[in-house]
Structure 1
Amino acid sequence: MDRIAAMNAFVRVVEAGTFTKAAETLDMPNASLTRLIQKLEEDLKVRLLHRTTRSVTLTPEGAIYYERVVRLLAELADIESSTSHARLKPSGRLRVDAATAIGALVLVPALDDFYRTYPDIEIELEVGNERADLIAEGFDCAIRAGKVDEQFLVARQIGSFGFTTCATPAFLAAHGKPNSPDQLRGLPTIGMIPSHAGYPPSFPFLYDDRKSGLQLKHRLIVNDTNAYLAAGLASLGLIQAPTYSVRDAIGAGKLVPLLEDWPQPTMPVHVIYPPNRYLSAKVRVFIDWLVELFERDDELRRR
C-alpha cells in the first residue's frame, strides 16, 4: 500500500464528509477508496472512521491521526514546492472556480499573459453564479466577491471593486435622468439575485460613510450577470453593476453612468483555497499572478 496515497485519501474523506464525494474528487471508484481506507485501518490496527449510509465521522483515534497526518502532508507539500524544478517550471492541471463576470471579463482576457510565463500549467476554469464546494468538488482555488462564508479555508484579499448605477441613452431619453438616489424609486430598475443570497439586493449608497440600501421594486429580477447586463443594454431599466463589468459599454456610449456624486460602496475580492498542505507550486504562482493582475487594474485594485 502507498501510505502517502492512503493518507491523502483519508484526509479527503474526512473533509468531503462522504466516501462518494471523496472518490469523485480523487477520480477513483468508491469501492477502491473504501478498500484503501480499510487497509490503512488494518495496518494501523485502529478504527479511524465511523461509517453510516449518509456520512462518516472521526473516531477519537481518527481525530488524533487526522491532525498529525495533516501536518505531515503539509511538510511534504512544502518540500516538493520548494524544489528548484517546481519553482522554475510548475506544471499540471489547476482547477479554478470563479463568478461569471470575473471569469469572463477579468481572468480569460488576461490568461495569455499567464501562459507565457507558465506554459505547462493547464487551467480548468469553471464559471457560474453557484459557489462550488472546493474540498468536495476538488478545486484548487476559487475567486469570491463579497463575504467569504467558507470555514476551514484560507481567504486572501486580492482586490476590490466599486459599483456604477447606469442606463442606456434611450432609457434616459424616455424616463429622465435621476439626480438623487431617492428619484430611482419612480423609475424602472433591474435587480439581480446572488446565488448565495436568494433575494434581490438593494441598490446600496454611502451616506456619511455608512452603507444604506435603497429598497426598490424591480420590474425585472435575474440571477445571472450576463442577463443582468443584457437587460440594462436592452433599456429595460436602470442597473447598478460592478464598474469593471460596464466600463467598456460606458466607454462606447452604450451606457451612461448616473449619480456619480453619490458614493457607492466597494466589495472585496478574495482568492480562497484549502490550507497550505494542498498549496502546490502551481497554485502558489497562480495566486501570485492574480494579485498582480488585480493590482494593475484601477477598477479592481485592493482598497
Structure 2
Amino acid sequence: MDRIAAMNAFVRVVEAGTFTKAAETLDMPNASLTRLIQKLEEDLKVRLLHRTTRSVTVTPEGAIYYERVVRLLAEFADIESSTTHARMKPSGRLRVDAATAIGALVLVPALDDFYRTYPDIGIELQVGNERTDLIAEGFDCAIRAGRVDEQFLVARQIGSFGFTTCATPAFLAAHGTPTSPDQLSALPTIGMIPSHAGYPPSFPFLYADRKDGLQLKHRLVVNDTNAYLAAGLASLGLIQAPTYSVRDAIAAGKLVPLLEDWPQPTIPVHVIYPPNRYLSAKVRVFIDWLVELFERDEQLRRR
C-alpha cells in the first residue's frame, strides 16, 4: 500500500465529511477509496472513522492521527516542491475560485503577466459570490474578501480594500450633493447584498473609532457587483462600492466620489487553501504572484 496516498485519502475523507465527496476530489472510485482506508486501518490496527450510510465521523484515535498526518503531508510537500526543477518550471492546471469583482477587475486583467512567467500553467477560474466548498469541489485555492470562517483551511492575507461612496454627475445634478452620511437617508440609494449574507444592506462609515452602518431604504438591492456598478452608472442612486471597482469610472468622470472626509472601513483579502492539499510548485508560485499583484496596487495592498 502507498502509505502517503492512504494518508492523503484519509485526510480528504475527514475534511469532506463523506467518502463520496472525497472520492470525487481525488478522482477515484468510491470503492477504491473505501478499500484504501480499510487497509490503512488494518495496518495501523486501529479504527480511524465511524461510518454510517449518510456521514463519516472521526474516532478519538482518528483525530490524533489526522492532526499528525496533516503536518507530515505539509512537510512532505515542502520537500518535494523545493526541488530545483519544480521551482524553475511549474506546470499543470490550477483551479481557482474568486469573488466576481476581484476575478473580473483584478485577476483577469493581470493574468497575461502571470502567463509570461509561467506559460505551462493553465488556470480554471470560477468567479461568483457564493462560498464554494474548496475541498468538496476540488479547488486548489480561493481569493476571499472579508472574514474567513471555514474550518480546515489555511488563510493568508494578501491585501485589503476600502470603499468609495459615489454617484453620477447627472444624479447629483438632479438630487444634490450630500456633505455628511446622515443626508444619505433622504436620497435614492442602491444596496448590495452578498449571496452568503443574511443581513440588511448598509453603508458603513467610521464614527469616532466605532463602526456604524447606515440602515437605508434602498430603492434597489442587488447581489452582484457588476449589476451594482451598472445601477450606479445608470444614475439610479448612490452606491458605496470597493474603491478598486469604481476607480476607472471615477477617472473617466462617469462617477463622482463623495464624503471622502468620512472614513469608511477596510476589508481584508485572503487566499485560502486546504492544509493537506499537496502544495505543488504551481500553487506556490500563483500565491506568491498574488501577493506581489496586490502589493503593487495602492488601493489593494495589505493594511
- With structure 1 as the length reference, what TM-score do the two structures score? 0.94
How much does 1:6 deviate? Answer: 2.0
After superposition, give the CA deviation of every residue in 1:232-283 in whole Å (9 maximum; x if it has no partner): 1111111000010011111111111111122212111111122266322222
Q: Which deviates more, 66-75 or 13-22?
A: 66-75
**Is the Cα contact below 8 Å between 1:134 and 1:142 reproduced in 2?**
yes
SS of residue matched to 2:277: helix
- With structure 2 as the length reference, what TM-score do the two structures score? 0.94
CA distance in 2 between counterparts of 1:71 and 1:215 reads 46
**Is the Cα contact below 8 Å between 1:192 and 1:200 reproduced in 2?**
no
How much does 1:28 deviate? Answer: 2.1
CA distance in 2 between counterparts of 1:206 and 1:64 reads 45
Q: Which runs of 5+ in 2 are unaligned?
A: none
How much does 1:295 deviate? Answer: 0.8
Q: Which deviates more, 74-83 or 276-285?
A: 276-285
Decide whether aligned partners of structure 1 residues 60 and 113 sit closer, same or farther in structure 2, where only a CA change above 3 A counts: same
**Is the Cα contact below 8 Å between 1:78 and 1:277 reproduced in 2?**
no
CA distance in 1 between counterparts of 2:169 and 2:252 reads 12
Equivalent position of 1:254 in the other structure:
254
After superposition, give the CA deviation of every residue in 1:95-124 in whole Å (9 maximum; x if it has no partner): 111100000000010011111111111211
Decide whether aligned partners of structure 1 residues 71 and 206 sit closer, same or farther in structure 2, where only a CA change above 3 A counts: closer
How much does 1:129 deviate? Answer: 0.2
Identity %: 94
**Is the Cα contact below 8 Å between 1:192 and 1:221 reproduced in 2?**
yes
Give the CA RMSD over aligned residues.
1.6
SS of residue matched to 2:67: helix
How much does 1:293 deviate? Answer: 0.4
Pair 1:208-2:208 in alignment: yes
Q: Which deviates more, 271-280 or 99-108?
A: 271-280
**Is the Cα contact below 8 Å between 1:166 and 1:258 reproduced in 2?**
yes
Equivalent position of 2:155 in the other structure:
155
The runs of 4+ residues in structure 1 deviating greater than 4 Å are: none
**Is the Cα contact below 8 Å between 2:70 and 2:275 reproduced in 1?**
no
Q: Which deviates more, 156-165 or 64-73?
A: 64-73
Aligned pair count reads: 303
**Is the Cα contact below 8 Å between 2:204 and 2:265 reproduced in 1?**
yes
Decide whether aligned partners of structure 1 residues 180 and 68 sit closer, same or farther in structure 2, where only a CA change above 3 A counts: closer
After superposition, give the CA deviation of every residue in 1:196-249 in whole Å (9 maximum; x if it has no partner): 222333101122233221110111111111111111111111100001001111
Q: Which runs of 5+ in 1 are unaligned?
A: none
**Is the Cα contact below 8 Å between 1:206 and 1:262 reproduced in 2?**
yes
CA distance in 1 between counterparts of 2:202 and 2:42 reads 57
| Structure-to-structure mapping, 1:60-99, within 5 angstroms | 60-99=60-99
Q: Which deviates more, 66-75 or 290-299?
A: 66-75
After superposition, give the CA deviation of every residue in 1:105-157 in whole Å (9 maximum; x if it has no partner): 00010011111111111211111000112222222211111111122322221
**Is the Cα contact below 8 Å between 1:71 and 1:277 reproduced in 2?**
no
Equivalent position of 1:127 in the other structure:
127
CA distance in 2 between counterparts of 1:24 and 1:283 reads 20
How much does 1:94 deviate? Answer: 1.4
**Is the Cα contact below 8 Å between 2:15 and 2:152 reproduced in 1?**
no
Q: Which deviates more, 88-97 or 288-297?
A: 88-97
Equivalent position of 1:278 in the other structure:
278
**Is the Cα contact below 8 Å between 1:70 and 1:277 reproduced in 2?**
no
CA distance in 1 between counterparts of 2:250 and 2:200 reads 24
**Is the Cα contact below 8 Å between 1:162 and 1:266 reproduced in 2?**
yes
CA distance in 2 between counterparts of 1:156 and 1:140 reads 14
SS of residue matched to 1:276: coil
Q: Which deviates more, 262-271 or 289-298?
A: 262-271
